[in-house]
Amino acid sequence: MIRASRPIEGLKFRGASADPSTVMTVTGLDTLTLVPPMRLGRLLVERRRTRGLDLVTLARRTGGRYDATVLTAIEAGRLALGDEDLGHVSDLYGLRAEPAVRPRRTRLAIDVEDAVTDEHVHLTHRTGSDPDEVLIRYLGLIVALRAAVPGHPVMLRVEDLIVLADALWLEPDEVEARLTVLMTNPRNRLGRRAQRLSRRTVIPAAGILVAATEEGLLVLDPQPQGPGPGMAVGPDHRGTTVIALARRDVPTVGVFAARSA
């Protein structure tokens, strides 16, 4: 039986007796899979055909867990799988899945081809709604992907800020300002989100789904290892950690600065 994406264990619901500083409410982004369903489906089809297998044969190998109809729906991207099923399906098809978000370089992109036209990926951000939930999920993933320490400055790609601004219908400087505040980890909001996200299952080849917006899917795509263009970080002579976002062919969006501990 398929288990769809569900709330992550440990999230607390708002209650009358709860301490507001320790409560993280469950949102659509907390239940959203990290694996884009359409991308996963295309990978599965390619993998199955490369191995010369048909759906009936694969279904038999599951011992009744999935039938050919369910596998067809998964390959078509019509099912957003929970972490447990992602593990089973990736094993079945011979794809590499990781039971936790591990350090790697990524690039944020808006996937228009797999935009929110499918009912199985619910729109998690609409124009005019609070963008901070998307930004905190993005930042939580970046912290997890870089094994960074919540509350410390995080080096970001200028291109990522521009993509976030486009997807959320904001100016880049507003995105920068909001991320700067979220980086300070108020009420451990970023720390708890990064911890939850770090335990989720991912399939690196499919990218990591940040959010579904009216502009398309926000996806962190894997990048080759090595130093990225246009990023610099280092302490200046005043003892301040400065995160500079600059690139020769992209306008500078700004500078994040935070006092060193």
Whether residue 7 is contained in a domain is answered as no
Average pLDDT for 14-18: 32
Model pLDDT, residue 21: 33
- pLDDT band per the 50, 70, 90 thresholds, residue 89: very high
- pLDDT band per the 50, 70, 90 thresholds, residue 99: confident
pLDDT in tens, 29-40: 777 889 999 999
Residues 6+ apart with CB under 8 A from 255: 242, 243, 244, 245
Whether residue 98 is contained in a domain is answered as yes
Nearest of 221, 259, 261 to residue 240 by alpha carbon? 259
Residues counted in the chain:
261
Rounded distance, CA 136 to CA 182, Å? 7
Average pLDDT for 181-205: 92
- The yes-or-no verdict on residue 260 having pLDDT over 90 is no
Whether residue 198 is contained in a domain is answered as yes
Q: What residues make up the domain containing 170?
A: 20-222
Q: Is 237 exposed, middle or buried (0-12, 13-18, 19+ CB in 10 A)?
A: exposed
Rounded distance, CA 35 to CA 71, Å? 16
pLDDT in tens, 134-146: 999 999 999 999 9
Whether residue 247 is contained in a domain is answered as no
DSSP conformation class of 200 = S
- pLDDT band per the 50, 70, 90 thresholds, residue 104: confident
Whether residue 240 is contained in a domain is answered as no
CB 37 within 8 A of CB 120: yes
The sign of the torsion formed by the CA atoms of 233, 205, 66, 4 equals positive
CA angle 58, 82, 133 (to 5 degrees): 145
Average pLDDT for 97-109: 91
Model pLDDT, residue 79: 84
| Between 212 and 5, residue with greater pLDDT | 212
Model pLDDT, residue 240: 27
Whether residue 155 is contained in a domain is answered as yes
Whether residue 248 is contained in a domain is answered as no
Q: Looking at the 3D structure of the chain, how many domains does it have?
A: 1
Whether residue 59 is contained in a domain is answered as yes
pLDDT in tens, 167-189: 999 999 999 999 999 999 988 98
Model pLDDT, residue 59: 97
